[in-house]
C-alpha cells in the first residue's frame, strides 16, 4: 500500500476509488468526482491525499481553491488552474494560438500586452463572450491532458465558487469521458441557503461520481487520537473524545491536542489526573470555526439558539422562545433559519436538536455566567410547575440539573428535586402494587445529596448534562 493511502485514517475506501479513477484517466477514460460532507470532515485532506497519490504515479496536478471571503474575480479557481498549466515548461508546456490567447487574456492579465484589466461578471456575462471563454479553457485542458496524461484538477471549497466558474466546470465535465482528465471537487453539504449557484452545484453533483464523507468509526477515532497525540493517552480519553466530537476528524484532532497539552501539564505539576480528559473545553481554533458558522446567521437567530442551548442538545421551541423573551411564532422563524444553516435539525414538530454537540457548547459559552444562572433558574421553575401538575414530559432529575446550574440560589431546590427523583420509582411501584419496602434508601440519598449539594452547585456547568433527558 502506498504512503499516500496509509497517511489518512478512516478513508481507505475513498482513496481506493480515487486511485482507480486515476488509473482509468491514465488510460484515456476521464471522470469527475464530488466530495461532500460537513465542515471538518476531511474533504480538503482527502484532496491533498489525492495530490500525493498523483505525484507518486507521475500525474500532473493543478489546484483551484475558491475564496470564501468574497471579492475574488470571476473564474477565480480556473485562473489558478490555468496559471499552473502555463507555468509548465518542456514537453508539458501548453502552446497558445493568438486567437485563444486573446480570449484567455480576459482572465489572465499577464497574457495581455496593454496592461492589466480585472475581469468581472458584467464584462464576462454576455453569452457569446462567456462561451468563447468556456471553449478556450476547454481546449487548453484537452491539450494539457494529452501532453502529460493524466491531468488531475482539484477544486477545493467549490460551494464558494462564482456562477461563471460553476458553468465552466459543467462545460468541461460534459466532455471529460474522452480525455485523460480527472476532476475532483470538494463541496460542503447544502446548508439550505439561497445561493445563486446552489441549483447549478446540485446539477453538477448529480452528474459526478458521489463521494460523501461521514464521521469516523470509534476504532478510527482511537487510531487518530493515537496518531495525533505526542504521548499515549488513557484508553478512556478516546471514548471521551469520540463522544464529544461525534467522529468529525478536525474536531478529534483539536480535542486530542488539547488533551495532550493538559496531560503534559498535569504530569509536570504532579496532579492526580494526568489523562487530560477532564471536562473538555473547546479548543480556540475549533471554537473560532464554529463561531464563524454561527455568525453567518442573524443575531436574533443566535439568541434563540443560545436559549435553546440552556435546555440541552435537544430543546423545545416553546422553551427557547420563553427563555429568549419572544413569541413562539417569531422563534419559529429563527429556528427555521438555523435549520437552513445546518446548525440544528427539527427532530419532531416544535423540537430541535443541535447538529453537533460542540455547536451547542459554543452557543452555551456565548452566554454570560449571570445570564446562564438566571435562565437555568427560570427554566427549572417551569419544569417544577409542570411536574407538580403531573406532566410526563420531563423528570425531577432534569429539574434538579437546572436548579444546580442556577448556582447557590438553586441549591436547596436542587436537593429537593433530586429527592423526588429518587422516590419516583418507589411511588410508581406502589401504584402498581409492588411496594419495594421502606424508604430508608431514599433518606440516605437525601442526606448524601445535602452534603454534596454545595459542591455540585459550585461546579455546575453545561457538561454536567450534555444530553438531558428528552421530553416525550
Peptide bond into 148 cis (omega under 30): no
User: Quick one: what percent of the chain has pLDDT higher than 90?
Assistant: 43
CA distance linking residue 134 with residue 308, whole number of Å: 48
What is the rounded radius of gyration, in angstroms, for the C-alpha atoms of the chain?
28
Question: What fold does the segment set 3-212 form as a domain?
Answer: Rossmann fold (3.40.50)
Going from the C-alpha of 389 to that of each of 129, 147, 280, 326, 470, the distances in angstroms are 72, 79, 37, 25, 18
Write the CATH number of the domain with boundaries 291-367.
1.10.10.10
Contacts 24+ apart (CB under 8 A), 438-445: 445/418, 445/419
**Mean pLDDT in residue range 27-49:** 92
Cβ count within 10 A of residue 190: 15
Identify the residue with better confidence: 163 or 69: 163
Q: Domain boundaries in the chain? A: 3-212, 218-281, 291-367, 389-472
CA distance linking residue 240 with residue 255, whole number of Å: 10
The angle formed by the CA atoms of residues 422, 427 and 429, to the nearest 5 degrees, is 110
Query: Among the listed ranges 106-110, 193-197, 284-288, 400-404, which one has the minimum average pLDDT value?
Result: 193-197
CA distance linking residue 436 with residue 427, whole number of Å: 9
pLDDT in tens, 333-382: 999 999 988 789 898 899 999 988 788 989 999 999 999 999 999 999 99
- For residue 305, the model assigns a pLDDT of 97
pLDDT in tens, 409-450: 899 999 999 888 887 665 555 544 544 443 444 444 444 444
Strand order of the sheet with strand 151-156?
Answer: 60-65, 151-156, 181-188, 31-37, 209-212
Residue 124 — pLDDT band, cuts 50, 70, 90?
low
User: Quick one: what percent of the chain has pLDDT higher than 70?
Assistant: 77
- For residue 240, the model assigns a pLDDT of 84
Residue 461 — pLDDT band, cuts 50, 70, 90?
very low
CA distance linking residue 311 with residue 331, whole number of Å: 15
Amino acid at each position: 500500500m502506498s504512503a499516500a493511502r496509509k497517511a489518512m485514517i478512516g478513508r481507505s475506501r475513498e482513496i481506493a476509488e480515487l486511485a482507480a479513477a486515476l488509473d482509468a484517466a491514465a488510460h484515456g477514460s476521464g471522470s469527475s468526482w464530488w466530495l461532500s460532507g460537513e465542515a471538518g470532515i476531511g474533504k480538503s485532506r482527502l484532496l491533498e491525499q489525492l495530490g500525493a497519490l498523483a505525484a507518486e504515479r507521475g500525474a500532473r496536478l493543478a489546484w483551484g481553491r475558491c475564496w470564501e471571503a468574497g471579492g475574488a474575480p470571476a473564474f477565480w479557481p480556473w485562473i489558478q488552474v490555468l496559471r499552473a498549466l502555463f507555468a509548465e515548461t518542456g514537453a508539458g508546456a501548453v502552446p497558445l494560438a493568438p486567437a485563444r490567447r486573446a480570449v484567455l487574456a480576459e482572465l489572465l492579465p499577464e497574457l495581455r500586452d496593454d496592461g492589466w484589466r480585472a475581469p468581472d461578471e458584467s464584462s464576462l456575462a454576455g453569452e457569446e463572450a462567456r462561451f468563447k471563454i468556456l471553449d478556450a479553457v476547454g481546449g487548453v485542458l484537452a491539450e494539457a491532458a494529452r501532453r502529460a496524461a493524466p491531468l488531475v484538477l482539484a477544486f477545493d471549497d467549490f460551494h464558494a465558487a462564482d456562477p461563471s466558474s460553476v458553468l465552466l466546470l459543467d462545460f468541461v465535465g460534459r466532455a471529460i469521458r474522452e480525455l485523460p482528465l480527472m476532476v475532483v471537487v470538494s463541496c460542503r453539504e447544502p446548508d439550505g441557503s439561497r445561493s445563486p449557484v446552489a441549483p447549478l452545484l446540485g446539477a453538477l453533483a448529480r452528474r459526478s461520481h458521489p463521494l460523501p464523507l461521514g464521521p469516523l468509526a470509534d476504532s478510527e477515532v482511537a487510531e487518530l487520537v493515537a496518531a495525533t497525540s505526542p504521548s499515549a493517552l488513557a484508553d478512556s480519553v478516546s471514548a471521551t473524545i469520540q463522544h464529544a466530537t461525534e467522529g468529525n476528524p478536525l474536531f478529534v484532532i483539536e480535542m486530542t491536542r488539547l488533551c495532550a497539552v493538559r496531560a503534559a501539564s498535569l504530569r509536570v505539576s504532579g496532579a492526580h489526573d494526568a489523562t487530560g480528559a477532564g471536562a473538555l473545553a473547546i479548543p480556540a481554533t475549533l471554537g473560532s470555526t464554529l463561531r464563524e458558522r454561527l455568525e453567518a446567521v442573524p443575531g436574533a437567530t443566535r439568541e434563540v439558539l443560545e436559549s435553546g442551548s440552556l435546555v440541552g442538545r435537544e430543546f423545545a421551541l416553546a422553551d427557547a422562545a420563553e427563555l429568549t423573551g419572544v413569541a413562539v411564532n417569531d422563534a419559529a422563524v429563527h429556528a427555521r433559519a438555523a435549520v437552513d444553516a445546518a446548525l440544528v435539525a427539527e427532530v419532531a414538530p416544535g423540537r430541535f436538536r443541535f447538529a453537533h454537540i460542540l455547536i451547542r457548547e459554543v452557543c452555551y459559552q456565548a452566554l454570560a455566567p449571570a445570564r446562564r444562572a438566571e435562565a437555568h433558574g427560570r427554566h427549572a421553575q417551569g419544569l417544577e410547575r409542570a411536574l407538580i401538575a403531573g406532566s410526563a414530559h420531563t423528570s425531577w432529575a432534569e429539574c434538579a440539573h437546572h436548579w444546580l446550574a442556577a448556582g447557590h440560589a438553586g441549591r436547596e431546590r436542587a436537593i429537593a428535586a433530586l429527592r423526588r427523583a429518587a422516590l419516583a420509582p418507589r411511588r410508581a411501584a406502589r401504584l402498581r402494587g409492588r411496594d419495594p419496602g421502606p424508604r430508608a434508601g431514599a433518606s440516605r440519598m437525601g442526606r448524601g445529596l445535602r452534603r454534596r449539594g454545595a459542591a455540585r452547585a459550585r461546579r455546575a456547568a453545561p457538561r454536567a448534562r450534555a444530553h438531558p433527558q428528552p421530553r416525550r
